[in-house]
Amino acid sequence: MRIVFIGDIVGRSGREALETHLPRLREALKPDTVIVNGENAANGAGITEKICKEFYGWGVDCITTGNHVWDQREIIPYIARDERLLRPLNFPPGTPGAGMVKYRTQGGQRVTVINAMGRLFMDPLDDPFRALKDLVEKERLGHGTDAIFVDFHAETTSEKMSIGHYLDGQISALIGTHTHIPTADAHILEHGTAYMTDAGMSGDYDSVIGVQKEIGAYRFVKKMPGERKRPASGPGTLCGALVITDDSTGLALSITPIRLGGVLQESMPVAGYVV
C-alpha cells in the first residue's frame, strides 16, 4: 500500500500548498490513501467543516488533528458526524469524535488511521502508550486491516521516539506532528515500522513555525505577549512523507520525505520507489 501523509496545514498558505501540490503527488506517486493533519488550517488555529470538505474535494481521505482541534467551536458538532475527521484517541471518554477510523481504499485495501497526542509539555490527557497498545492489539495487522498508520501529535522528540519503538512491528508507520519542523530521521525501525519524528508543517517557512516572524520573535525579545499570533502568508511548502507497505505483512518497505514549494529544498520520492 502507498500512503501519503501531509503534516500540519497552517493557515491559507498551507491550504494553498495542499491544493496546488496534491494533484502532482497523486499523479506521480499513485497513493492508495492520503492523510492530512489539518489542526491549524483555519487561520492557524483549528479547522472548520468548510475546510474539511475542501480537503476531501482535493483528494484527501482522512484528516487528523491535535491540541488545536477545538479552537474553532463549530467543529464540535461536526466532528461527531464526520468519521474521517479524527481527534486524538486519548481524550477522556465522552469527548466528541473518535481517535481511529478504518476504511477501504479504492483498491479495496483496509487501512486503519489512528490519531494520538503526547503528554510531555502538552495537555495532561490519558496515557497514549496504553491507549495505542490496547487499540493495536485489537486492530492487528493482517487480521482485519492491511495497514495501520499513526499520527502522534507531540512536543518532545523523546516521547515520539519512545512510542515508535514501543509499537515497532505492530503498526505500519508512525509519523509525528506538532512541532512544525520536518526532521531528517525518516527510517524503518528494527521490526518493520516506518518512523519519522516530525513531518513538518505545510505553510510559509519564512516565519516562526508558521506565525508571522515579527510577532513570533517579539515574544522572545520583549518577554511580553505582544500582538495576537497571525499565520504567515507567503508561499507555502508542502511537507510530509510517502510510506510504502508490504501487502503480505502490513509492515513498511520504505519511507521517503516529501517537501514541495516554498523556501525549503524540495524532496520528492521517485515514482515506483520502494527501497
Active-site positions read 68
Q: Are 244 and 5 in contact (CB under 8 A)?
A: no
Residue with cell 512510542: 163
Helix (H) or strand (E) holding 120: none
Q: Are 31 and 5 in contact (CB under 8 A)?
A: no
Burial of 28 from C-beta contacts in 10 A (0-12 / 13-18 / 19+): middle
* Burial annotation 63-82 (CB, 10 A radius, 16+ → b, else e): bbbbbbbbbbeebeebbeeb
Joined together, the cell numbers standing for residue 129 give 502508550
In 186-226 the beta strands, taken as DSSP E runs, fall at 187-188, 194-196
